[in-house]
Structures are given as structure tokens and as C-alpha cells.
Structure 1
Amino acid sequence: MAEPSQDKLYSTTLRTIGVVAKLPVVRVDREAFLRKQFSDFEHLDVILERGPQAVYSVESLRKKANSLIRNSTAKTSAVSFAAGLPGNPAVMVAAGGADVVQYFGFAINLAQQIAYLFGEDELFEGGGELSEAAQVRVIAFLGAMFGAAGAASLVAKTSKVAGANIGKKVAAQALTKTAWYPLVKKVGAIIGMKITKKTVEKAITKAVPVVGGVVSAGLTFVTFRPMGHRLADTLVRNLNGEFDDVLDLNSEFAARAESVVIVPETAEDAKP
């Protein structure tokens, strides 16, 4: 069977993000989150206005991120166990898909927590649907969580510190016309491949009575925790200025780069 095209995989990612963004559990209010995390700390006003990185060292924030990742992983695995319990075989594949939406919902929820901890601004502006610029940021976060090639550069381009004008850039011209669109599409396609593989994986676990729930929770725990740490490490590197020398693609190369082939994940790539 032929591998899905980059366009198809990218579309899968956009559709999944669109569905996931509607789940109440996905959205994290930045101010409420920061107030809860730093309620007993001094300089809360500065933290709310400029971000925790304006008050605390990157190293201390990285340690705090460990706690967020640990707690989120435990919650996600528990929910995955319940969702992994066998149901009607006729709806097994559909249920597997729903479980995947739930999985990515928790991933985006955790991504927001980690991002806000390292000074990024609100993802769901006004509490509404994700804007096109916000979708790009979600792709960057998820790409970093999965260790996708180029995702770290995309995080740097879309971060509050290095890419505060992303919204203006997208508004000024169609996303497809920007020099960095090929990178967005490439990272998005890699995520699309992950979504496709996760859907099959989740559907299979539902076919195993009782054990399916244990397998589902185990797979979630093994994969979800490293995802959080990858994003946290990427944001640490971003704050440390390691991506300051990121170069934009020239328009001619960017146009050719859209035809890049997505290489299936190898066993080596799958290691956390």
C-alpha cells in the first residue's frame, strides 16, 4: 500500500486540530493557569504581564515543567485506560479515532501549559476558535513533542519572543505564500502520519478484552511523557537563544520544497 501523500497527511493534521480545538478539556486560560502555578510567589503581576521567564531562571522553570508533565501524563493515561476498554466491535475503528482525538487534546492542553510556563502568549485568543496563526503554533508545538525534523525551528519562528509578528504576517498574505509555509506543511505532514498510526494502534487495543485498556494506558504513558519533555527542552533552547541564527527560506527554494517526501518513521526515530 502506498504511503499517504504529504498533502493528505497535512490535511489530516488540520482536520484533527480543528476537532480537538472544540473540546473543553483542551483550552488552558493563560492567566488562570499562571495565577494557579504562582499564587504564592512574589511578582505575580510581572509574571502575568511578561511571563514567568521574566522573573525566574530558565533552569528553575524547566524543573517546574517536570511536575506539569508528570501530572498530565498520569491523568492522560487514566483516561486512556477507560477509553481503551472494549466496546461494540462494529464501532471499534470509530472509537479508536475518538480516542486519538482525546489523546491529541491532552497533548495540546499540555503544550499550552508548558508554553505559558516559558513565556508564550495566549493560544486561544478571546476564547474562540483557533486562528490560522494559532494553528501554525499548534503544529509547531506538536511537531516538537514528536521530535519532528524542523519543528524546533518552527517553534522559534512562531514564539512570542522571536516571532511576535506571525499573526500580522499571516494576515498580510495567505499562509501558502509565506516563505516558511513548506516547513509548516512538512512538520504538519509528519504529525498527520502520527495521527494515522495512532488511530490504527488505538483501534487494535480495543479488540482485546480488558487487556486492551491496560495496553492503551501503557502506550499513552510511554509516549506522552517524552513528548512533554521534548517540547520543554525546545522552549528552553529557544529562551537560551539557540535558534537566533535560524534562516528563512528564499521564495524560489520554498516553492520547490513543497514537493518534499515524508520518510516513514524508523525504529530508531521511535525511541523516546
Structure 2
Amino acid sequence: MEKEKKKTISGIYDKSKDAIIKTKDTVINTLDQNGDGQIGIDDIIIAAVKTPGVRVSRASFLEKELFKYYPQDIVDDAIAFNPAHAGIPAKMIDKIADDVIKFERNCVSGVSAALGAPGGWAMAATIPADIIQYYGYTLRATQKLLYLYGFPEIETDEEGIKLDSETINSIILCLGVMNGVVGANNAVKAMAHALAIGVEKQLMKKALTKGAVFPIVRSIAKWFGVRLTKSLFTGAIKKAIPVVGGVVGGGITFFAFKPCCYRLKDALKDTRLSNPEHKCTKEETEILDDIMSGKIIDADYEVVEDEN
């Protein structure tokens, strides 16, 4: 009897182990957009932006949000330049930003709970969907906040589903800010300053892909790679717990999404694009100088999460 019991337990363990391995392989194959056998934040961004409804038109968004409060000439000015240039008060921009965060938060939490609820290894296929949906709504919120606080349109191809390296790296920086990664804040503020003074597009592209900002982007991407691998495994375990997994997953998403968005909002509301009285920090100025000089910096940044 004891031997049979041990044999049964061993069989269950082996099957569970095989199921976990199979699940992780399925997830990697589904999410690996660039075919390098790894899951990185760039893969998630590329997959998320292909999801219908993720891309936000800057002009349409600003028109819809501002037309409720302002005449057409002010709306047109905000679209042509930015809301701050149109004379829209910071308090109003902040109010709209809060509404955006609330809306996207409710959407992503509901999706996360729905995908996590059924449970069982048969639901392993929902793990990629859960992750893509989460980052899809995160990208929606990111675009809207960028547009409210003066940044230009996120560039995609004609179908709105393909991003260049410069755009992906800009989004990675924003995600770094949202997750409290030290250094990302100064990089985003330096980019805003460069845009505000009309830096050439080629200089900005160089800074993001092989210049001053790129080492920060690269380090944030590495940090996300480790984090994503861990979250995929815990996500696979979560899916094996019926109903409760969905409730817990949706709850965690609900409480995590808001502070992430508010970190980005707080960074964007005080840049040269959104605040004419913005004062550069020493770190921001150093990055800005490197952007303007077109300097290539091949250094590794230690990625540290802000305790706050």
C-alpha cells in the first residue's frame, strides 16, 4: 500500500512538473516576437501594440477630452502644439489625467480577473493574453498621459501595429518610470526638454538607440526580462487555482496599476514640455547635454527600484 501511494504521488508530481514546463514553453513561443528564444519587454510591447484598440490617436484623444471644456480654437492649439501651449491650466490637465488612469485601471483589472478565473492547466493559454492585455492597457494609459503633458504622437506604421526601435525604447523608459526604476525619471525629463527646445529628430533617435539614453534603456530592459520570467512562472501557478486565482489576479492588478500610472504622471507634469518653470536637476542636465552633443555612451547602469 505504501509503495502504491508513493508511486501515485510521484506520478502526480511528474505530471505537474511536465505541465509547468509545457506551459512555460507555450508562453515563450507565444510571446517571443523577435524569435530570439527569450521574452523581453520589447516582445511584450510589440505584441501589445498589435492588439486592437491599444494605439491611441493623439489628435482624436485630445479633441475628445478637451472639447468638453474649451472652444475649438484652444483645442486646435493643443493639438498643433500641446495643452500647456494652448494655455490649459495644469489643474485641468491633471484632472483629465486622473480620469484616464481611473478608466484604464478599471478596464485592465476586469480583464485580469476574467482571464484568471477559470483555473486549471487547460487555461495556460490565457497567460500570454493576460500579460498582453495588462501591458496593452498600460500602453494606452502611457500614450494618453504623454499626449496630455505635451509629448508628440507615438509613431507607428500605416496600420498602426509596427514600432521602430526609437519608439520602443521611449516606451521602455516610460515603463521604467512607472515601475519606479531610478534613472528612468531623469531620462524622460531630459527627452522632454530636448523636444521642447526642438532638438533634431536624428539626435533623439541616436540618443535612444545607441547614445546617451540607450544604456538606461538597456538596463531597464534587462531588469524587465528577469521580472517577466518570474511573473510568467507565478502566473502559471495562479492559473491552476480555480476562481480564487482570478479574484487575486484582478485585485493585484487593480492595486498595482494606479501607482504605476501616477509615477509616470508625476514625472510628466514637471518637464519643460508641461511646465515652463521647470528646473532641471544635475542628472537631467547631464543627460540633456549628452543628447545634444550626439555622444555615444557605452556604460551599464545599475537598475534600482525607488523605495517610494
Q: Which has the higher mean CA deviation after the structures are superposed, 76-85 or 199-208?
A: 199-208
Q: Is 2:104 the counterpart of 1:72?
A: yes
- Counterpart of 2:115 (choices 54, 79, 83) is 83
**Which residue is 2:148 aligned to?**
117
Q: Which has the higher mean CA deviation after the structures are superposed, 18-27 or 123-132?
A: 123-132
**Which residue is 1:106 aligned to?**
137
Paired residue secondary structure (1:26)? coil
Paired residue secondary structure (1:97)? helix
Paired residue secondary structure (2:270)? helix
Contact 1:31/1:48, CA 8 A, preserved across alignment? yes
Q: Is 2:182 the counterpart of 1:149?
A: yes
Of structures 1 and 2, the larger Rg is shown by 2
Unaligned runs of 5+ in 1: 1-7
Deviations 1:17-61 (A, max 9, x none): 121221122100111111110123221111111121222122331
**Which residue is 2:219 aligned to?**
186
**Which residue is 1:224 aligned to?**
257
TM-score normalized by structure 1?
0.82
Would the alpha carbon gap of residues 136 and 206 (structure 1) be closer, same or farther in structure 2, given more than 3 Å must change?
same
**Which residue is 1:24 aligned to?**
52
- Counterpart of 1:169 (choices 198, 203, 208) is 203
Would the alpha carbon gap of residues 134 and 167 (structure 1) be closer, same or farther in structure 2, given more than 3 Å must change?
farther
Runs of 4+ aligned structure 1 residues displaced above 6 Å come to 250-253
**Which residue is 1:129 aligned to?**
162
Would the alpha carbon gap of residues 128 and 20 (structure 1) be closer, same or farther in structure 2, given more than 3 Å must change?
closer
Counterpart AA for 2:92: S
Deviation at 1:174, TM superposition (A): 8.8
Contact 2:207/2:296, CA 8 A, preserved across alignment? no
Alignment partners' CA distance in 1, 2:126 and 2:82:
39
Counterpart AA for 1:14: D
Q: Is 2:95 the counterpart of 1:95?
A: no
Unaligned runs of 5+ in 2: 1-35
Counterpart AA for 2:117: L
Alignment partners' CA distance in 1, 2:99 and 2:161:
29
Alignment partners' CA distance in 2, 1:223 and 1:108:
15
Would the alpha carbon gap of residues 168 and 254 (structure 1) be closer, same or farther in structure 2, given more than 3 Å must change?
closer
Q: Which has the higher mean CA deviation after the structures are superposed, 48-57 or 154-163?
A: 154-163
Alignment partners' CA distance in 1, 2:206 and 2:119:
48
Alignment partners' CA distance in 2, 1:36 and 1:173:
33
Contact 1:237/1:243, CA 8 A, preserved across alignment? no
Would the alpha carbon gap of residues 253 and 130 (structure 1) be closer, same or farther in structure 2, given more than 3 Å must change?
closer
Deviation at 1:218, TM superposition (A): 0.1
TM-score normalized by structure 2?
0.73
Q: Which has the higher mean CA deviation after the structures are superposed, 118-127 or 138-147?
A: 118-127
